[in-house]
Structure 1
Amino acid sequence: MKTLANLFVVLLSIQGVRAGEPIHLGFVEHANRQLTQLPLSERESHLRTMIAEFPGEAALHFRLGNLLAEQRRWPEARFAYAQANQLDPGHPDIHYNLAIALDHLEQFADASRHYRAALDAAARSQHRFRAAPLQQRLHKLEAYRQ
C-alpha cells in the first residue's frame, strides 16, 4: 500500500505536475487535511516526503513548522517557518508563526521584527491570528529591549 505522501506525488504526476513545479494550493490544502487523519508520528514523515518532492511549496513548509511547534520542537519549527517565509515573504501567518518560534528560542529582536512584519502583512491580506494579543506581545518585547 502506498503512503499518503507517495499517493500525493502519484496524483500530481497524473495531473502533469513534475517535482519542483508549483502546485495548486487547493491540492496542498487537501493533502494537509488528509495528513490530520494520520498519527502524529507519521505526519512528519509524510510532510518531509512531500517537501522533498515539492520544495518550493511554502504551504508544506508552514504545515511542517506547525507540526513541529505542536511538539515544542522550536529550533526545527523555526527552520521550517523560515523556509516558508523565504518562499512566501508576504504571508502574515508565516511571519506570525516564525515570530512565535523565535520568541520561544529567546531570539527577541528577530521575533519582534517578524511580529511587526506579520502586522504589516495582515493589513494587506487575510490572516488567522488576532492582532491585539500580537501587539501586546510586541510592546512587551520592545519594552524589555529598552
Structure 2
Amino acid sequence: MIEDIIITMLWSISPFGEAKVGIPIGLKSGTNPYIIFVAAFVANVLVFPVMIFFLDHVNRYLLRWHFYKKGALFVAKKAKKGAKDKIQKYGFWGLMLFVMIPVPGTGVYAGTIATYLFNIERKKAFAANTIGIFFSSVIVWFATMATLKAIE
C-alpha cells in the first residue's frame, strides 16, 4: 500500500503526467481510492512552490548557458502561447481553468510557468493553481473510477 501511494505521488509530481497519470496508476493498484486522491492532489500542489523557487533562483543562474537558455525559451514560448489569451482575458479564473483542463500541456507546470512569465501575484496564482488541480483531479478520479467499474 505504501509503495502504491509513493508511486502515485511520484507520478503526480512528474512533469510527464501530474495527477492526470498518478491517479489512474494509483487506483489501478487497488489502494483505497480516497487515499490515492489525496496523495496525488497534495503531491501535485507541491509542484507550484518548488517550481516558483526554481524559476526565481535556479533558472536565473542556468540562463547563462546557451543550451539551457534555448530550451527554456522554447518552453516559455509554448506556455505563453497556450495560456496567454485565457489568462490575460480572465485573470485568476483563466489561470484556474487552464490548470483544470486535464489534457497534455495544461496543469500546474504550465500554470506555474505562466505565473512566472505574466508576473501574476503569487498568492492568487497559488490559489488558482490549487483549485485547478483539485477540479482536474476530481475529473480524472471520477473518470478512472467509472472506467475501472465498467471493466469489472
Q: TM-score, normalising length from structure 1?
A: 0.27
| Higher RCO by CA contacts (8 Å cutoff, separation 6 or greater) | 2
TM-score between both structures, scaled by the size of structure 2 = 0.26
Higher helix share: 2
